[in-house]
Each structure stands twice: as structure tokens, then as C-alpha cells.
Amino acid sequence: ASFPLLCFRSPLAAPLIFGLLLQAPFTEPSTITQPNFVLLLADDLGIGDVGCYGNDTIRTPNIDRLAKEGVRLTQHISAAPLCTPSRAAFLTGRYPLRSGMDAVNDYRVIFWNAGSGGLPPNETTFAKILQHQGYSTGLIGKWHLGVNCESRNDHCHHPLKHGFDYFYGMPFTLISDCQPTEAPEMDRAFRKKLWLYTQMIGLITLTAVLGRLTGLISVRWKTLTCLAGFSLLFFISWFSSYGFVRYWNCIMMRNHGITEQPMVTDRTTSLILNESISFIERNKHKPFLLFLSFLHSHTPLLTTEKFLGRSRHGLYGDNVEEMDWMVGQVLDAIDKEGLKDTTLVYFASDHGGWLERQEGKRQLGGWNGIYKGGKAMGGWEGGIRVPGIFRWPGVLPAGRVIDEPTSLMDIYPTVVHLAGGAVPQDRVLDGRDLLPLLRGAVAHSEHEFLFHYCGVHLHAVRWHQKDTGAVWKAHYVTPNFSPPGAGACYERGFCPCFGEGVTHHEPPLLFELSRDPSEAKPLSADTEPLFDTVIRRIGRAIEEHGRTLTPVPEQLSVSNVVWKPWLQPCCGTFPFCWCDKEGDN
């Protein structure tokens, strides 16, 4: 009891107390009523593509500035290794299979604007809660969570049905088909098969007609007519969708209206940036949520002339550097309006970089640093470990680095709490409020276990053993790299989740990530004394997690994913869908 008194009597006490009084304390979040939120989400950006995460050849000064002025997460985990399920989890704070937004088949993302699957109307996004708290909410950029359910204009999956007051951007995702000069990307292998079958049927039909005309074969003209009709119908059945991908999927919308069909890619970047800055300027006098969902750095890597040839990593590096410039422009707009101290800025990527995305010798996908694997791989770190940066001057300490496991799903409760809202109590939430961890009020993340899915198939589980600081990760299923040892599925273009393209492990592959973040040396009962104990504990966690799952409609079933002409968004009279309202303006 006498120790504090002795301390204050020391000659150092006066300058120490004076220094403490001069030190600017961090503002309690409760004293800032409803901060603004600017959420920046990159597309297909690898964790190894950013300067503050170790890249010294791609220049990202604005993202690096965010990290310097805020908190950088080194173990920030996406809930899925592909766009659609990852974004569903981000917006709902729930593993995507809870909302039916993960796939049992190979169609693991929304494939068409005219599909009927999408983020279910009964899901509550953080935008919807903030809307009820009086926020102006805007989504600029990529959606990729569906549009319609039963008719062309019901917009049941549209951003405006999920809590956003304003939407400008792509309801789908950027693909190489959107750029007329690029080779088709969407369902490339399947399209080649369909074209081959069409040629084979056509050749059979032509041979039969020539045989009938020359008298070499005896066949009725009625049969030949039916064969020719079947050949034509087969061609129309697939070409009516795949032959017009650019018109059906590459569109831009403002709220419910289509502004460009197809999109004019030369001006997309400037329009998205201008819309983002305009949203901040329009809403500066009231609390707002801006979700800027970048089209960068997804192929075809739309990059303006100003940035072409600037980086040391070809077109991909140019594209990342342009995105960093866009981040800087948004930060400048926040500063210009005097909103820096009342705005929480967050930057992340939806999942890891796409290793297999190549054209000849050109690498068009990202780099995941020291981490194994990439996009589409549900278990390996390279597919799910992403950049994660928070900045809120005066509230979050500058330059702080946190190595604890965190998730993109954590944005949901964090944002809702800060906005003064309440998270839904009628469903399981998998995200955790990050604010105490970000501010340093607690030492450990609330996540003890994180479950890593590939589609609906559980591939790996992470256990954060808080008493020792160990982070164990057990892999039950891993993809078979092709060619073997290549580190990715180059021969397929994507790694699969099930079937002949994966290996099941019994016992599972076990790694301790704090000692082996690259997952290079699997442990065994011979090399790790705790092996059996860890595997049993993770096994119990899987059973407990399984009891929280309930059956829901599959949004990515084949019947929901296929193109349906009656659901196709169209700015004319279907099928004559073409407009350029931005050009008219």
C-alpha cells in the first residue's frame, strides 16, 4: 500500500506526471456519436502485393500511409477464397453456407446477372442496420451477390434491398469478357466443349445431307430436317447466353437503372472514383457508410493510360498502383471535408491473389507472399489471408500491428456497435467486435476457432490456443496441385473443392502457424508431442460448430446459377439491350 506513495515522493514524479498530462489520450468511441465508415475492399488482391505487407517493388504509398496512421492486422482471414461467398460473409458477419451462399457443386460464384440466386432477402447486412440508425449508405463498385429472383425487375438481391440507399457500379464482377480485346474468361473450358459439340453435330448433319444428295446413304428428308433443326437449337441454346456475355454481364447500374450496357471500360475507373468522392461530399453533414468495392485488381485489369507501364510487375502491378492512387484520392476527399477524425477507414481484399491467372508468359493474378496457395483454395493461407488495415485518428493507435486471428466477418459487429445499433439475436453470428482488440484494451482476439470452407466442404480449421499463443491449423482436405509440386492448379485454372482433384487426410495435416506460417512442414505424432491432443480438441470444435448449422436453400445450385432470359437486366426491349447513358451525359 505504501509503494504508490513512495513513487510520488521520488524526484522523477513531477516530470512524469507532467508528461502524462501533456500526452493526448485516445478518444473514447462513446464520445464520438456515430462515426462515418469508409470500407475499401480490393478484388483478388494478394497480401504480398502491398508495401506494408512486405512488397518492395509495387508502390502502394497510400495504403501504406493508412497502416502507418492506423492498425495493421497480419492474420486477417477471409471467410471464403472466392468473391461471392466471401462478400456474403463480409456483409452478414456469417459463414456463407449459413445463408446458402456457398456451393455444393463447381459453380462457386454468381455466374450471370440473369441467374436467380443471390444474397437472400432475409439476411440482415450491416448496411441495413446502419440505415435504421440514420446513416446514409452507399455502395460504389462491385456487387456480385445477385440481382433478381422471379422477374426482370423484382431486384430481390439488389444492393438497395440490402440496406444501401445508393448504388453505382457493376451488379456482376469484372471479367475479361468485358474487354473486347481480351480472350474470353468466363467458363472458358466449358465453352470450348460446347463449340466442339456444335461442330460435331453440324458435321454429322452436313455429312448426312451430302450422303443423301449423292445417294450414298438412304435417309428421309424429314429425318435430315429434324437433325438440322436439333443442330440449330443446340447452338442457339448456349450461344444465346455465352455468345453475348459482354451484353448480359458487363453492365453498369445506378440504383435500379442501367447506365451502360455493355460497360465502356475506358471510363469505368474515373466514374467509380468520382461517384465515391461525390458520395462523401453529398453526405458530409450526416453520418454515412461508404462501401467502395473496387473492380481492381481483377482481370482484365482495367488500367488508365496514366498508369500503364509504370510498375515493375507488368499490367498487374500497374493496376494495383492505380488502385492505391484511388485510395489516396478518397483519403484526400475525407481530409478536404474535415472528416478525418470522425471517419473509420478500413482496407482489405476479398480473398487471396489468383496464382493461375496467366496469358502466355504474362502473370495477371496476384502474389500471396510467403503463404502457400491462392484464390479458390479454401484451406491454404494464400487463399484466405488478406491485408487488413483500420485507421481512426485519435481513437485507434497509429502504427500498431496485431498478429491475432481476425476475420472479414468481424467488420459486421464492429461497425454495428460503433453506429449504436444492435446485432440480430435470431441467428448465429460468426464475426466478433474488433474494437477492444484494435484499441489495445484486450490482448487476444475473441476467435478461438476459425473454420475454412471450400464451397460447403470443410477443408481446414484454425485453433488459436490463447494460453500458449500457438495457432494450430489442421487440414482435412487439400487440392492436388497440377503439375505436381507447382503450388497451384495451373492445368485446371482453379483448384477444386472435392472429387478427384483433392486429397483427404487422415490424420489431418497439422501446422503451427506462429512457427511455420508458410505451412511447409506438417507436424506428426512423432515430431509434435501435442499432436493427438490438438487433433482431438479441433475435432470436438468441428462437432460443436456442426450443431450450429441449419439447412437453407442453396443459392448457388445449378438451377439458380444458369442464365434465365426472363431475369436478364435490360435497358432496352429484350433481347435488344444496349444503352450508354453516361456517354449521352
Give the catalytic positions in this structure. Answer: 83, 144
User: Up-side HSE of residue 163: CA atoms within 13 Å toward CB?
Assistant: 24
**Which residue has 440507399 as its cell numbers?**
165
Beta strand 71-77 with 385-391 is: antiparallel
The candidate with the shortest Cα–Cα distance to 292, out of 353, 348, 364, is 348
The candidate with the shortest Cα–Cα distance to 71, out of 35, 107, 109, 26, is 26
The candidate with the shortest Cα–Cα distance to 462, out of 402, 528, 508, is 508
User: Up-side HSE of residue 581: CA atoms within 13 Å toward CB?
Assistant: 12
Plot region of 301 (φ>0 → left; ψ -120 to 50 → alpha; else → beta): left
What lies within 8 Å, CB to CB, of 472 at 6+ separation is: 462, 463, 465, 510, 511, 512, 513, 534, 538
Instruction: Please give the Cα distance from 49 to 328 (Å, whole number).
Output: 17
Cα–Cα–Cα angle for 25, 29, 33, nearest 5°?
A: 130
Provide the angle, in degrees to the nearest 10, between the axes of the packed helices 83-92 and 411-418: 30
Count of positions (residues) in the chain: 585
What lies within 8 Å, CB to CB, of 117 at 6+ separation is: 110, 146, 157, 554, 555, 556, 557, 560, 561
Q: What are the Cα distances from residue 203, in Å, to 45, 47, 207, 243?
A: 45, 50, 6, 21
